[in-house]
Amino acid sequence: MAFQYTRLDKNNVAVLLVDHQTGLLSLVRDIDPDRFKNNVLALSDLAKYFKLPTILTTSFETGPNGPLVPELKEQFPDAPYIARPGNINAWDNEDFVKAVKATGKKQLLIAGVVTEVCVAFPALSALEEGFEVFVVTDASGTFNELTRDSAWRRMEAAGAQLMTWFGVACELHRDWRNDVEGLGTLFANHIPDYRNLMTSYNKLAK
């Protein structure tokens, strides 16, 4: 069977931010903490930029996992916010699944902490129900590279596509001519080197 390139379609995508909680973030060791936080916020910024329906969820906030990273709640004050009382797999929570299905979207961008549990479990569950799943790898984190790679292989074998937030943004945008300044600003806000490109471009454009 010939390969079929399944592209992200901004009109058919929902974003699931799973368990980006202050306690769990302290467990992330497969990526530099500052870079990881930047990647998470970049994903949330692109979700806002492309007007993608976004769902926030946490697991056992009153326990050691801690509250949601405050920047995400500030970014999406009106988004569905599912504080799961104990379900480890977000897909086991009826309110979460209802919120996902209420978006009417079939492509799911999923990121979270930790990768092999909070990302993998709902990703596998969503694939089983017929959704197209795209895991945002650099906005998901875990204990170490071995744990991360095992989770990636498991999800990929089930049909999930692995992407980074930068690749996601480019595939959603499709054509620079749609909005040079908007996309460029998004990149510049999260990639220091890209800021140099935009500075140069802005000077030449004047």
CA gyration radius, the chain: 17
DSSP letter assigned to residue 37 = H
Look at the block and give the residue holding tokens 């988004």: 79
Is 108 strand, coil or helix? Answer: strand
Which residue, 75, 20, 82, 85, is CA-closest to 57?
82
For residues 64 and 62, give the distance between their C-alpha atoms in angstroms, rounded to a whole number: 7
Is residue 118 part of the annotated active site? The answer reads yes
Torsion of CA 8, 10, 13, 16, to 10 degrees: 100
The tokens for 21 are: 């909680």
Centroid of chain to Cα 193: 22
Bridge partners (DSSP) listed for residue 143:
none
For residues 125 and 29, give the distance between their C-alpha atoms in angstroms, rounded to a whole number: 26
Amino acid identity for residue 44 in this structure = S
Q: Which of 18, 118, 123, 169 is catalytic?
A: 118
Sheet containing 81-84: give its strands across.
81-84, 54-59, 13-18, 107-112, 132-136, 161-163
- Annotated active-site positions, please? 118
